[in-house]
Amino acid sequence: MPCARLLTATERCFNLCSTGKSWPACDHRFWPPAATALRLGLIPFWRISRACRGPLNSEVNGMADIRKLNTADADFQQQLDALLAWESVSDSAVNRVVQDVIADIRARGDAALVDFTNRFDGWEATSPAELEVSLARLQQAWETIPGDQREALQHAAGRVRAYAERQKMEGWTYTEADGTVLGQQVTPLDRVGLYVPGGEAAYPSSVLMNALPAKVAGVKELIMVVPTPRGELNELVLAAAHVCEVDRVFAVGGAQAVAALAYGTESVPAVDKIVGPGNIYVATAKRTVFGQVGIDMVAGPSEILVICDGQTDPDWVAMDLFSQAEHDEDAQSILLCPDADFVARVEQSIERLLPEMQRREIIETALRVRGALIVCRDLDEAAEVGNFIAPEHLELSLADPEAYVNKIQHAGAIFMGRHTSEPLGDYCAGPNHVLPTSRTARFSSPLGVYDFQKRSSLIMVSAAGAQTLGRTASILARGEGLEAHARSAEYRLDEDEG
């Protein structure tokens, strides 16, 4: 297959498609070097191959390079800043493509959606109706997948739903002495769009984690879009949609799917919010349509930070670092430990275990480019560094994690204890796996039921309350030079009080 080096001799080649676990956490990614070729229609995404890179270090000498840092070093903070630096802003080429796609979808609706799907996903659709996947097809997928997969989906879905039920917000009111009633009404969103990666990068867990909280919240209609390169439907993804009772499914992806959800077409209804992971084009499209619709977040590469006391099996820790590194070359895996000898043993485990991994090349690159083994002074300092990193996933591989967890202020999800591996949270523990990345855990939270609910303030002022509040509002309004505001409040005053 042609590779991106045919387009430019200086750029690395990555697979190009409309899928992705979390931007750009997938080995199928739109990257700017190929944007021009795509815009000109020179090559569809699925024809651009991966790799045109030199041999990995592990291929040359069997060793995995991962930087070693020490908090005692004078330049540690500068080294940490460089390690964590991640540029998530799309470049001009990506933005231009996304803007063009959105404009075309808004102008031509279904016709543009069919054209983009044929062009980028290798379809030969002739009508918009071919892009919708029927509920009967979801049922068929559910009935034909292996029994152990059905059981796993049901088990995971039950736990995710049970956890989500505890997050559901309820309305409330209270009555003041003069009879004025104040409160808050909580209502679900009407319609939500769910973007799910498809093709080879198929993640049924993304369906569970995004769809079930919306259903628990009471969202009236859930519209799922999933790219299907060359028309290939992933049975497990469809079965997960059946378990979650998704209302409609369209076999479309990329920026065109986001645009269709945001603005609507003749076939795809416009939604109120778009959630779900995607590649750089999907993320850029979500950022672009924000305001027209709500979005969950613009996610960066996957991350894991392990804080360990040095008493865990080093093989466990190495594999935990691999669990995020295998997502993507830009994923970040970091160990913080006050025991230098243990850190060296973890490095030995990495070197021994890496050659047997199916996604070895991706893991090796991620560890070399963005990974680190950090020796710290003590566990108190580890908490301070951990709070600065504000990781997506934080493992506390400690003897007493419950006593330690109060030191943690910033993390998307905290996995407590040696037996709590991060992948359990990815699939079936219950809490959501859609988490803030790139240090955004300092100010944001995991996806939850509350993301699919809205709050409206309730104000019912009694006649007596209108006298007190009216005078206060009148004074403040006139102080701001807003006469109509003041007079609106004054009209409700009793004449003898005015």
Active site residues: 392-393
Nearest to 335 by CA among 350, 354, 357: 350
Pair 432, 213: CB distance under 8 Å: yes
**250-279: b (≥16 Cβ within 10 Å) or e:** bbbbbbbbbbbbbbbbebbeebbbbbbbbb
Ranges assigned E (strand) in 71-220: 132-133, 172-175, 181-188, 191-195
The CA-CA-CA angle for residues 34, 37, 41, to 5°, reads 140
**63-83: b (≥16 Cβ within 10 Å) or e:** ebbbbebebeeeeeeebbeeb
* Alpha helices by DSSP H, 326-389: 340-353, 360-370, 379-389
Nearest to 374 by CA among 402, 342, 401, 352: 342
Pair 302, 218: CB distance under 8 Å: no
Nearest to 48 by CA among 5, 77, 19, 80: 5
Q: Which amino acid is at 373?
A: L
Nearest to 388 by CA among 25, 75, 78, 73: 78
Place of tokens 């566990």: 379
Cis peptide preceding 197, ω within 30 of 0: no
C-alpha 135, offset from chain centre: 26
Q: How many CA atoms lie within 13 A of 127 on its CB side?
A: 2
3-class DSSP state for residue 172?
strand
The CA-CA-CA angle for residues 436, 205, 275, to 5°, reads 50
Long-range CB contacts (< 8 A, 24+ apart) of 148-152? 149/236, 149/239, 150/239, 152/428
Place of tokens 């070359």: 329
d(CA 307, CA 198): 34
For 292, residues 6+ apart whose C-beta sits below 8 A from its C-beta are 262, 263
